[in-house]
Amino acid sequence: MAIEHTETTEHVVPKRVYYTIFVILMVMTYTTVQVAYFDLGRFNAVAALLIAFFKASLVVLFFMHVKYAPKLIKLFVLGGLFWLAIMLGITMTDYMTRTPQEFPMSRVNTVQPLPAAHVPTALLG
């Protein structure tokens, strides 16, 4: 009934690994700053996000020990990422296909105006 300790035993990671990862993270931070000096147009955000994603992966894999964790833990980590993809992906079905003409109200505004005589005076003010 007590939690079995076979799978959850702490994997001992040599300190060297932590220092190496830390140095890589610092270098990537420096890279982010340097990349910001180049205007990549619409790829500005893409470049920054790719670097950030790489750094986050290192933190999760090494500092948070997911690299050494059992499969079930890896599955849950991937599940979290997958859910993020669901959120961003389905939200994009809106943003990628949204055009101003589709708003019902804006369509009303482009309808040909009625001849002035037919418009109730209440609507004219």
Partner 1 sequence: MSTAVLPRENYLNTDYGLRSWFLTTDHKRICILYLLTITLFFAIGGAFATVMRLDLATPAADLVSDETYNKMFTMHGIIMVFFFLVPSIPATLGNFLIPMMVGAKDVAFPKLNLASWYIFTAGGCFTLWALISGGVDSGWTFYTPFSTLSSNTNVTLAALGIFIAGFSSILTGLNFMVTIHRMRAPGLTWFRMPLFLWSMYAASLIFVLGTPVIAITLLLVAAERVLHLGIFDPARGGDPVLFQHLFWFYSHPAVYIMVVPGMGVVSEIVAAFSRKRIFGYTFVAFSSLAIAILGFLVWGHHLFVAGISVYSALVFSLLSYFVAIPSAIKVFNWTATLYKGSISFATPMLYAFGFIWMFTIGGLTGLFLAALGIDIHVTDTYFVIAHFHYIMVGGAIMAYLGGLHYWWPKMTGRLYPEGWGKLGFITVFLGFNLTFFPQFILGYMGMPRRYHAYPPEFQTLNVLSSAGASILAIGYLIPLVYLLWSLKYGPIAGPNPWGAKGLEWTTSSPPPKHNFETTPIVTEPAYNYSELEETAVV
- Interface positions with partner 1 (CB under 8 A): 1, 3-4, 72, 79-80, 83, 86-87, 90-91, 93-94, 97-99, 102-104
| Cβ distance to partner 1 smaller for residue 21 or 66 | 66
| Cβ distance to partner 1 smaller for residue 46 or 80 | 80
Distance of closest approach, residue 92 Cβ to partner 1, in angstroms:
9
What angle separates helix 43-58 from helix 15-35, to the nearest 10 degrees?
A: 170
Calculate Rg over the CA atoms of the chain.
27
Closest among 73, 75, 57, 81 to 11, alpha carbons compared? 73
Given a contact cutoff of 8 angstroms between Cβ atoms, the answer to whether 65 and 17 are in contact is: no
Tokens read off for 70 = 């059992």
| Cβ distance to partner 1 smaller for residue 80 or 114 | 80
Q: Is the dihedral of CA 79, 85, 88, 94 positive or negative?
A: negative
Distance of closest approach, residue 69 Cβ to partner 1, in angstroms:
14
Distance of closest approach, residue 9 Cβ to partner 1, in angstroms:
14
Distance of closest approach, residue 2 Cβ to partner 1, in angstroms:
8
